[in-house]
Amino acid sequence: MNLNLKNKNALVCGSTTGIGKATAIALAKEGAIVTLVARNRDKLKEVLAELPNSENHSFIVADFSNPRDLQEQVIKFIEKTHGFHILINNTGGPRSGDILNASLEEFDNAFTQHLKCNHVLAQAVIPFMKEARFGRIVNIISTSVKEPIPGLGVSNTIRGAVGNWSKTLSIEVGAFGITVNNVLPGFTETDRLNEIIKNKANVEGTTEDDMAEMMKNHSPAKRFAKPEETANAIVFLVSEAAAYINGINLPVDGGRTKSL
């Protein structure tokens, strides 16, 4: 199958680590011209150097706690260089914990970093996508869109909001050759998962190794995913081969999610 991403411009958020980084590398390998987005300039430079044909790619330094500044920087980049055919929305998850103990500030911060930032980025890139008659937006969310995960109260709430925002957007832009889909990672070997394991182990009074094994056993695959496995699903969804897949939630979780 020819994914045909040569000369497609991709904006990849949260691309200095985990699934975001793996996605940036996978897109570059398929010929896409990648622009990384994250807040740490040094880490961005390190990832940029790892991309195939690194001289063809670039990065934007931005903090997802300030959506307006993020949007302005991306618009300036577009005006000076090129628009984007592909947008990968990806931001680190909120702090874990029971929903009853969550503060209003935690909800506000998560809503800003996830839904608001996704929204302003979509507003920035969609005009070019409409002109090109080709656009792919993939939101990296969580399986909690389908089934809330215990101990992730704020995340469960905000991820659900992002899922509904995405579905609504997919209906509005489908006629322009633009698709909007969500990838729902299960337990994936990232810094975020390490944090969740540590917190769960503390709550349950067990070791991190035992907690990790317990979580692995929740999946029929009996293991955690590699970031590259999730990236492969994302790369397919942004390709021309997936042109008629729009408005879906795709779990990449080894079969852990029990709902259809």
Say if 92 falls within a structural domain.
yes
Q: Are residues 95 and 26 in the same domain?
A: yes
200 and 119 together in one domain: no
Q: Examine the domain organization and report whether 142 and 194 are in the same domain.
A: no
Claim to verify: residue 105 and residue 160 sit in the same structural domain: yes
CB 6, CB 241: distance < 8 Å: no
Task: Give the pLDDT of residue 25.
Answer: 98
Low-confidence ranges of the chain (pLDDT < 50): none
Sheet holding 135-140, edge to edge: 58-61, 33-38, 9-13, 86-89, 135-140, 178-185, 249-252
Domain assignment present for 259: no
Question: Is 125 inside a domain boundary?
Answer: yes
Q: Is 254:183 a contact under the CB 8 Å cutoff?
A: no
Task: Assess whether 146 and 239 both reside in one domain.
Answer: yes
In this structure, the answer to whether residues 24 and 153 fall within a common structural domain is yes
If asked whether residues 153 and 208 sit together in one domain, one would say no
Question: What pLDDT is stored for residue 96 in this prediction?
Answer: 87
Phi and psi at 33, nearest 5°, equal -95, 115
User: In sequence order, which residues have a C-beta less than 8 Å from that of residue 232 and are 6 or more positions away?
Assistant: 26
Residue 136's domain spans which residues? 9-187+226-252
DSSP for 233-254 reads: HHHHHTSGGGTT--S-EEEEST
Pair (36, 159) in one structural domain: yes
Question: Quick one: 146 and 238 in the same domain?
Answer: yes
> Would you state the pLDDT for residue 192?
85
SS3 74: helix
Flag whether 243 is in a domain. Answer: yes
**In a domain? residue 60:** yes
Using the Cα atoms of residue 129, residue 50, residue 237 and residue 32 in order, give the sign of their dihedral: positive
What pLDDT shows up at residue 199?
A: 86
pLDDT given at position 4: 81
Rounded-to-integer distance, Cα 202 and Cα 4, Å? 46
pLDDT at 18: 96
- The answer to whether residue 118 sits within a structural domain is yes
Q: How far apart are CA 71 and CA 48, in angstroms?
A: 21
Give the model's pLDDT for residue 37: 98
What is the reported pLDDT for 129? 98
Domain co-membership, 58 together with 138: yes
